[in-house]
Structure formats: C-alpha cells, structure tokens
Structure 1
Amino acid sequence: MCLSHRTRRVPPSLYTRNPMASQSQSSFQALLSLLRYARGYRRRIIAAGSCSIINKLFDIAPEILIGIAIDVVVNKEQSFVAAMGFNTPQQQILALGVLTFFIWAGESIFEYLHLIMWRNLGQVLQADLRQDAYDHVQRLDMAFFESRSSGQLVSIINDDVNQLERFLDGGANNLIQVFVTVVAVGGVFLAISPFIALLAFTPIPIIVWGAFFFLKRANPLYADVREKVGGLASRLANNIGGIATIKSFTAEAQESERLREASDAYVQANRKAIAVSSAFIPVIRMAILAGFLATFTVGGLQALSGELNAGAYGVLVFLTQRLLWPLTNLAQTVDLFERAMASTRRILGVIETPIDVRDEGSHSLPQPVRGEVDFQNVSFEYAAGAGGVENVNLQVKAGSTLALVGATGSGKSTLIKLLLRFYRPRQGSILVDGVPIEQLPLKELRGAIGLVSQDVFLFEGSIRENIAYGRPTASEEEIIAAARTAEAWEFIARLPEGLDTPVGERGVKLSGGQRQRLSLARALLKDPPILVLDEATSAVDNETEAAIQRSLKHIAHGRTVVMIAHRLSTIVHADNIVVVDHGKVVEQGDHRQLLERKGMYWSQWQVQTGGEAEVETVFS
C-alpha cells in the first residue's frame, strides 16, 4: 500500500479551468486546483497518505496499552487480557511487552515511509510545477512580459514553488494525522464512555472554528506577503542588473534605501500575518485545557465510584492528551498551509494565463524558402493605446533588402514583432512565401528568420555556445565561418581561450561592439532565408559599424534582409526604403527617389549630412 509509483503529471491544458481565476481563490479552492494539477500523482499521494494514517494509528496504540497494563496490575486474573488466554499477570505483562515492541517497530517503519514519500513527492511535484510554469511562460505573449517584472516571475517560479514544497514536506502529513487522531481516539472514547467522550470532544468545534476564522483572516494577509516577496525580488534583480548605472551615478545610498523600503514592506506584511496566527494559539490551548480537565476530573470521580474501570480511566486520560495537545500545533500547520496555498494561487495563476498567439499552424513553407514577405492591410495597437501600426501594406521581394526608417515609436519595430508573431495583428495578414504566418508552426516561422537587435542578449557561457545557440550541433568550422563573416573572428582569436572564452552574465565581459558581432554571427550560423536587423548598428562604434556593413554585403546575397536604422548612411543601398510615421507608411522608394521627393526622408538626410531642414520634420 505504501509503495512508490512513478507517474506522469497532467499537462496544463487538461487542468486549466478559468484562466487567472486562481488569483482570487480561497485556500480550499486553491487546494482543489492543486489536487487537479497533481492527479497524475494520485497513487503516490494515496501511498504517502496511507503511510501517514498507519503511522498515527501505531502512535496512538501505546497509550491504549498503558491503560490495559494498569488493568492487568489492578485486576490481575480478572483483567481484559486474561480473557484472551493469558492466565497469569506475568504472562499478560510479557504479552503486552511483545505487542509494544511490534507496535513501536511498526510506528518507526511507517514514520520512515511517510517521511520519505512526502518529501520525495514534494521534490518531484515542485520540480514539475516549476518546469510547467517556466514552459508556459516561454509560450506566453510578449505583452505578458511587458506588464510584469522579471523579479516577480522569478519569485513565483522559484520562491513560491519552494513554499509549496515546504508544506508537502511536513504540513500535509500533519493535517492527515490530526484528522486520523480525532477519528481514532473518538472511536475509543465512544466505546469506553460516551459521556466522557462528549466532554472531551466539546472543545474541538471551538478549535475548528478558530482554524477557519484564522484561514479567513490570514488569506489576504498571506497573499500580500507573497506580493511583497515578488516586489523585493524585483528590486534586487533590477539593482543587480543595473549595478554599473548605480555606480556611475553614485546612487548606492539611494538604492540601498529603496531596498530597505521594499524589505520593510515585506516585514510589515509578515508581521500582520504573524499577529493573526499567534493569537490563534492561546485560544486553542485554553480550549484544550477545558477538554483535558473534563476527562481528568469526571473520569477520575467515576473511577473512584466504581463506575469506570481503572485501566479504562488511564486510557481516557492518556488519549485525551494524545488527542488535544497535538492540536496546539494546528496553528503552525494551518499557517504553513495558508502560505502554501497563497503560493499555489500565484503559481497556477501563471500556468493558467491564456496564450493569445498560439502555436497551432499546420502548414509548411514551400521549399526552398525564398523569403518573400507581404504585409497586407496590417493594423495593431498595444494595450492602453501605446502606439502600433495602421493599414500597413508592404511587399518585400525575395532576396531584396528593405529598410525601415522613422521616428522612435513610429511603428518600425512593431512590424518586426508582428512578423515574428510576438503579437497578433488586430486586422490584416502577413505572408511569407505566400503562406499566412498564423498557419505556420512557430518553430518553422521563426526558424526562417534571423534577428539581430540593438539590445543584444548573450547567455552566460562561452563564445562558442552563444554563436551556436540557434544550431547547437554546428561544427567548429561552421562556427568559425560565421564568426569570420560577422567580422568577429579577429577579436575572438586574440582571446586566450578563443571560442571557449566565458562571456559573463549578459555578455558583461565583452564590449558592446563585440557583443553585437557575436549576435550577428549567431544569426548567420542559423542561416535564415530572412535576416532582420533591428537598429543593429545604432549603439556601436564606427569601426564595428563599418565591419557590420562589410559583412552585410556578403550576408545579403541570396537572402531577404529587413533593416531598421536611424543612420541613413547604412541603408543607402537598400532596394526599398520605407518611411513610417505614427504607425503609417508615408513614403517608400530607393534612396535616390526619396531624396528627389524632398519629404521626411530628405529632411532627415539633410540633418545627418549637414544640410538644413525644418525641425518639425526631423526624426527623433
């Protein structure tokens, strides 16, 4: 009954009910949601629970044996054990001794089993919850990340999951064993003396009421505690990530004070929750005392008057203590339970967050992929009306170079995000080689596009691992070839460890130009038919920009290139230059044609080359 079972958890799609509803769930609703999630572990939960039950039954038995031993000493040949065939008191005591040994051995065995089962279950379940939460987060839309800090997400995926693990390590077993104690001891009491059972169990409704009252009061308090933990984690992650800026502005004292405020807010939230949980304990202790005194005095008087057997009186006194005193720990157990359920609500809230851009495409791109891109009447708005694009019609021929220019926030990068399906257009359609992108699997669509952005992100690891990120199986010759094409090999070869040089967190050990060249090499090794350069040269020095421009002459051959640039000198050779303003295409043509029209492009060109232009027409 207590054997471990290896089972597979239920995929999130099978247990999701009402997305985001878990944020407002009660603790018991959160528990039900957790049990639905963990129903793939049903056998393991039943096995661990069964071991907890058996362990508690063995744990209660010695108190009963002590009462029986008292009966043997008092009544001797007339005792309860004598009726079982043990004639002399000595035989009866020896029989009770043997039985006590096996009971203690059984209790020890099942305590080991329930400890190892609950703890292992906690480990596996928390690992699966973390993995499912992370996997779901990876599939969520970019809008989700724009409305939440990375620190809060890390707090949920790591700290909240660990909080649930702590409950499974001990709290779940405690709740089961309290229930078993009440039922088992209640049965013994009713069998011996229903009247004393009534007196002994009178405090239990008060204890249960106190537990529910505590849960109701503690629910919002612990939700606030978890929120404050997320805010504290967000502050720490933000400050550590921006440590160079903090140092350059000598803002250490200011940021230390901000962290102290976030930490104090967490302490205050915990203090309120602790005040409620601490008040619960004295109330429970007084209720327990009333039940114990009732058994002790009434039972004692009945034993003195001969109404109650002395051994039975001993059993009742010992079992009353066994029944009521463990309930003093109920407050701590319920405290742990409430913290775990607050974490569960946050974890399942992430897992149940709906996905707008779904990976449901079943078509494939025609082979070989030519790289033709067509925007047909595309419109999109960000949440709260924070920019977007409107009625954009663009056609990028296969193998050509398209340049997008315009003011910051005009909608250039939005078009790239829509092409990559980071967002879904409100209207219109985007086609690649004649196939609407929503009909393509995300892996195939994004596999056909290489992105080099202004904000280069390198993963902690070696230069080799970062270049080969899109093709982990690439050979060293292919990695070196991509680095050469991106004009990154020269500086890589000078490093003591070459390709195996660690880049540090986010590439902190490399210069901005070096990171940008590695980003270009990473995209090239992927060998995509469509290459997107999102202001890839705006934050680099002149030497790096010249190197990237030389690389592009080789890269663009036989490949569709979409460039976003503020420096117009980098796009003069583009086949088509599109000027975007306030989400609309206002001009397009090649460099010469746009200069001849003397519109917005011409104005910006005049500014960048030293000519004069009206301020109102200058791109920011």
Structure 2
Amino acid sequence: MHPLKRLFAYASRYRRDFRLATAYSVLNKFFDILPEVLIGVAVDVVVKGEESFLAKQVLVGLGISDVWHQLLFLGFINVLIWGGESLFQYLYEVKWRQLAQDIQHDLRLDAYQHVQKLEMAYFENQRTGNLLSILNDDVNQMERFVNGGANQIIQVFCSSIMVSAVFFALQPSIALIALLPVPLILFGAFWFQNRLAPRYTEVREAAGDVSARLNNNLLGLATIKAFAAEGFEASHIDAASRHYRAANARAIRISAAITPVIRMAILSGFTATLIYGGWLTIHGELAVGAYSVLVFLTQRLLWPLTGLAEVADMYQRSMAAIERALNLLDTPINIPYEGQHFPAQGVKGELRFEQVGFSYDGRPTLADINLTIGAGQTVAFVGSTGSGKSTLVKLLLRFYAAQHGRILLDGQAIDSLNLQDLRRAIGYVAQDSFLTDGTVAENIAYGLDSVSDADIAAAAQAAEATEFISKLPLGFATRIGERGQKLSGGQRQRLALARAILKNPPILILDEATSAVDNETEAAIQRSLDVVSRGRTTIVIAHRLSTVRQADCIHVLENGRIVESGQHTSLLAQNGSYAALWRLQTGERSN
C-alpha cells in the first residue's frame, strides 16, 4: 500500500478534521482568486462606464449604474473577499497544524509503545540510533508534510480547477492555450517524483546511520576517551556523515531541476495567453476587462504550479519517512501481552522447567532443561560465560519465547499468563541496571504508583543504601544523572536492589548483580539478600561462587545443560565442575 494511503488509514480517527481542514483550504483558495476577477471587473467599469458588465448584469436590479457607485460597490466586495480569504487562511492553518501535531504525537507514542512490546531478539538486529531516527526525525518529517504539504497540494489542485472554470467561461480558446502546459508540468512533476523516491529512502537510511553512530559513541564516551580513540571515532562519524551528504546530493541534483523545467512550461502558457488574448482584444473579440482577468489569472493558474517542485520534494522526503515509521509500527509482536490475569499477591512462586530449549541464530544455548524450584527457595545458577545462565532467566521473564518445552509458574504455563502480570510478579536486578535521570527516590520507586517516602526509605535501608544516600547533596531528592552516571557502580546496584525490594515481588531474580562491585559492596548486598530473600523464591546468577554458598540448591550449567545440582558442600564433595570452579576462584588446591 502507498505510504500516503497507509498514513490516512492510520489517522482514520481524524477524518472529520481532515475534511474540515480541506474545506478551509478550498474556501481560502476560492477567495484568493477573486481579487484577479475583481480587477477585470474594475477595468471593465472604468472603460465602459454605465455600460459595464457589472451595471448591466449584476446591479441592474438595484438601479446602480453610476461609475462611482459601481466602484464603491466593488470596494465593499473587495473588503468581503479579503476578509473571507484571511478568515479561512487562519482556520486552515490552525486546523492543519493541529492535525499535524495530533498525528505526530499519536504516531510517535504508538510507535514507541509498539517498540516496547517487541521481543528482545528484535533489538539484536537493530541499532538504537536508527530507531531514534525513526521515532524522532521521521515522525517530524511526516508532521512537516501534513502541516504544509497537504494544504499546498489541495490549493494547487483547487486553483487549477477554479481558474480553468473562469477561463472557459470567458474565452474557451484561450483556456485551451493557457492549460496546454499543465499536462507537461504534471508529467514532469511525477517523473521527477518517481526518481526522487528511492533517493530519499536512501537519505533517510543514511540519516539513521549517522544517528546510530552518534548514539553509540555518546554512550561509550568514557571508553573512547580511555583509549584515546577520539580521532578514530571521529573518522567513523565523518564517513557516515559523508555518506548522508552524498545521498542528499544525489537527491538534490534531481529536486533542483524541477522548478526550472516547470518555469519554462509556465512561460509558454503565459506568453501564448498574453499575445493571443491581446490579438483578440485588439480585434474586438474580447473585452478589455476580460483580457485583464485572463492575463492575471494565467499567472494565478500556472505560477502556483512552481510550488509543485517544493511539494514534490517535501512529499518524497515525507513518504520515505512515513514508510519507515509505519513499517516499524507494523513489525509483528511475537510474544503477545494478552493472557490470563492474576494478582502478584496470590503468587506462591513455584517454578518448573520442562524440556526447555532455546537457540540464538541456530546456535543452541539451552537444551533439555528440567528442574523444579520450590516456592520460597533460593536457587543459584553458576557456570562459565555463555553457558546459558542469563538466557534461562530471560525465558522466565519472557524477553524471549522458549523454542522447546515450557515453563510453569504455580502449575500454569507462563505463555498463557498476562505478560504484564507475570513481570509484575518478578523483581529483576541485572548487572547493569537501568536508572533514569531522576532523583534517588524516583529511581527506587520506579514503575510503582502512590509510594510513600517511608516505604522508599525502608527499601533503601534494606538494601544498605541509606548511608551513601544521606551523604548526597539533597539526599533522596538528589538527581543522579542519565543512567545514574553520578553514582558509582556499587551505589547504582544498591538502588536497583532497593527498587526490587520496594516492589516486594514473590519472585526475585539477581542476574550477576554483584559481579561489578567491590568486596565491601558485595558483602553489603549479600547481607541485604539474606534478609529480602526470605519468604520469596529467589534466583541468583553469579560468577562469584562465594555469593551463592548459602543457596538451597546450586545448578551448574555447561553448554546449555545442567551438569550438576546440589548444595555447596555436597557439590564440593562430588569433586566435579563446581569444585573445579571453586578451586579456581579461591586458589585452593586439590589433594
């Protein structure tokens, strides 16, 4: 489907606003062309006096024939015309701009909400900067088209129809001559448009590349500085920007040619009207007033068509942008949110994995996982990098869908449960937790409504975060910067843990939550976990085996399979994979 049709289908809720905006544009154009007609009538009055068309055909019933009175009447009509034109210009500008803002807001919000519902696998093949380019630049480009381009197209079309009607009413032969360039102009505009379309698609993609590179570099600025790689990364930005500039240049070479081509076609039509109409007037076959109207209206008919160049350029830029935005909105959601609702307070927390298997791009990550985690148990998963520990948790959170087998919560398959309710029942603390550019209190209460200051303070106390929070300039009201960059890694982790504690979920997941903190912070977090894990199912993923010694059960994963299970002491006694990892980390030697 054409992007414009897709846009109208998407914005179907605004059909009434589209109709009103179109009506205002049409009425504005109607009043806009009347001054030229009025000039012709005035010339006719001055030349013919009491024998003018106005006196004989319009004012005859009022008994007005005096030239001065005719001119006064024309002055009154002129005021009405300019007043009508101004009124409807105000109305169409307000309506089109408001319509553009409404659709822009809806499209950006709908696209963003849709992106949030896409499975994590989608983002593995996407660049964040490109998504930002679609959600921001492309949506803005659509807004500019609805704001100005739609009105221009309507008014050029209406102007052509209205002026043509006047031409045929006054002198059909001149009308044919004046309209002769129009098919050539339209053909040229569409010819250029078809060649601009792929070039502007390339421009939008190149813009996405630049945005992606800039976003990636800004997020990794500390690493770039640490490796003194500013020049290296600047060369990448230079290459991406050069590609964008080259893509734009290819489009500009075509778009810049539209206006000169249309201008030459207009020249032929205007010259023919000027000469042929003058010849007819000299030989008495056309009134002087009518000739004046035709000369003025020829420009009114043809000159707006030069705007087709600008409109075609804006149109193609917008269609490429609309296509990208609506394609994003049409991306299928492979993990549905719908399902059976349930309250988090009623969850016991028993988990069962039955023959669970999963692969990334054809590479097996988990295979034949069978285990049961009892309600209220603390279970740990350990193993080397890439063994499948984090994948297991991501399947439980339904960031990905299990390709084989199933996962059950309290005896119900999680893919039959409402996705939001499932995630509300789980507290998740990752190795690199997301923090907003808000206050400490806002980050602890993230995602929760109506949380008291006392509850926030209690959660911070349980996470052993109160001491460092009290030393901040404004305490809980201190803003911590984008992604919490004003805090240390350990402080960020304590806030993330406090957030999970405040949520009070029946299931708590800690995914490498202590791997990037110092020993003191690790000990503090461990003390907090010993308290908050009581009475709830807790899953701990860890590289440091010292943090999971007290777990009810430890599962060792290798190549996506569970190879050992048991408590710390029994696993050491087995002298298998776990014991080898323990000796590696502690430096103990086997006898």
Q: TM-score, normalised by structure 2?
A: 0.97
Residues 129-183 of structure 1, C-alpha deviations (whole Å, 9 max, x = no match):
1111111111111112221122111111111111111122211111100000110
Q: Give 1:36 shift.
A: 0.6
SS in 2 for 1:46: helix
* Secondary structure of the corresponding residue to residue 176 of structure 1: helix
2-structure distance, mates of 1:495, 1:49: 57
Aligned partner of 1:294 in structure 2 is 272
Is 1:223 paired with 2:182? no
Render the CA deviation track for 1:98-139: whole Å, top value 9, x for unaligned.
111110111111111111111111112111111111111111
- Deviation larger for 598-607 or 275-284: 598-607
What secondary structure sits across from 1:81 in the alignment? helix
Question: How far apart are the structure 2 equivalents of 1:47 and 1:537?
Answer: 60
Q: Deviations over 1:293-337 (max 9, x none)?
A: 111111111111111122111111110010111111210111111
Corresponding residue of 2:95: 117
Letter in 2 for 1:94: L
Among residues 375, 381, 401, which one is paired with 1:424 in the alignment?
401
Aligned residue in 2 for 1:10: none
1:422-480 alpha-carbon deviations (Å, 9 max, x no partner) = 11111211111111111211221111110011112111111100011142422112111
Q: 1:612 Cα deviation (Å)?
A: 5.5
2:7·2:322 contact (CA, 8 Å) conserved in 1? yes
Contact 1:387 1:411 in 2 (8 A): no
1:550-582 Cα deviation digits (max 9, x unpaired): 111111211111111111111121111111122
* 1:560 maps onto 2:537 in alignment: yes
Instruction: Give the deviation of 1:356 after TM superposition.
Output: 0.5
Deviation for aligned residue 1:275: 0.8
AA at the equivalent of 1:532? I
Correspondences of 1:388-407 after superposition (within 5 Å): 388-407=365-384
User: Is this contact kept in 2: 1:366–1:433, CA < 8 A?
Assistant: no
What's the counterpart of residue 38 of structure 1? Answer: 11
Size of the aligned set, in residue pairs, is 585
Q: Residue 133 of structure 1 contacts residue 351 of structure 1 at CA under 8 Å; is this kept in 2?
A: yes
Cα distance in 1 for partners of 2:308, 2:479 equals 51
- The residue correspondences of 1:315-326 to structure 2 (distance < 5 A) are 315-326=293-304
Listed as ranges, the matches of 1:35-114 within 5 Å are 35-83=8-56, 84=58, 85=60, 86-114=64-92
2:245 to 267, 275, 291: 267
Q: Deviations over 1:508-537 (max 9, x none)?
A: 000000101111111010001111010111
Q: 358-367 vs 496-505, which deviates more? A: 358-367
User: Does structure 1 residue 442 correspond to structure 2 residue 415?
Assistant: no
Structure 1 residue aligned with 2:390: 413
* Residues 138-537 of structure 1 mapped to structure 2, 5 A cutoff: 138-364=116-342, 368-382=346-360, 384-537=361-514
Could you tell me how far apart the structure 2 residues matched to 1:176 and 1:185 are? 14
Instruction: Give the match's secondary structure for 2:342.
Output: coil
From 582, 586, 589, the equivalent of 1:609 is 586
Q: CA deviation at 1:32?
A: 0.4
Whether the 8 Å contact between 2:344 and 2:424 is mirrored in structure 1 is: no
Structure 2 CA distance for aligned equivalents of residues 230 and 387 of structure 1: 32
TM-score normalised by L of structure 1:
0.92
Mapped to 1, the partners of 2:343 and 2:475 lie a distance apart of: 38
1-side partners of 2:241 and 2:235: how far apart? 10
The alpha carbon displacement at 1:96 in A equals: 1.4
With over 3 angstroms needed to count, the CA separation of the structure-2 counterparts of 1:192 and 1:612, relative to structure 1, is farther
Identity of aligned residues (%): 54
Q: Check the 8 A contact 1:387/1:409 in 2, yes or no.
A: no
Gap regions ≥5 residues in structure 1? 1-24, 614-620
CA distance 1:549–1:30, change in 2 (3 Å) = same
Q: Relative to structure 2, which stretch is displaced further, 246-255 or 508-517? A: 246-255
SS of the residue corresponding to residue 270 of structure 2 reads: helix
* Deviation sequence 1:216-246 (CA, Å, 0-9, x none): 1111111111111111111121111111111
2:31 and 2:111 map into 1 onto residues whose CA distance is 40
- In 1: Cα distance, 2:38 partner to 2:233 partner: 64
Q: Letter of the aligned partner of 2:486 in structure 1?
A: K
Alignment pair present for 1:599 and 2:572: no
Taking the aligned partners of 1:599 and 1:420, their CA distance within structure 2 comes to 30
CA contact 2:356–2:368 (8 Å) conserved in 1? yes
* Residue identity in the other structure for 1:126: Q
Match of 1:431, SS? strand
Asked if 2 retains the 8 angstrom alpha-carbon contact of 1:375 and 1:429, the reply is yes
Say whether 1:135 aligns with 2:108: no
Letter of the aligned partner of 2:221 in structure 1? I
Relative to structure 2, which stretch is displaced further, 547-556 or 365-374? 365-374
2: CA distance, partners of 1:89 / 1:582: 101
Moved over 6 A (4+): none
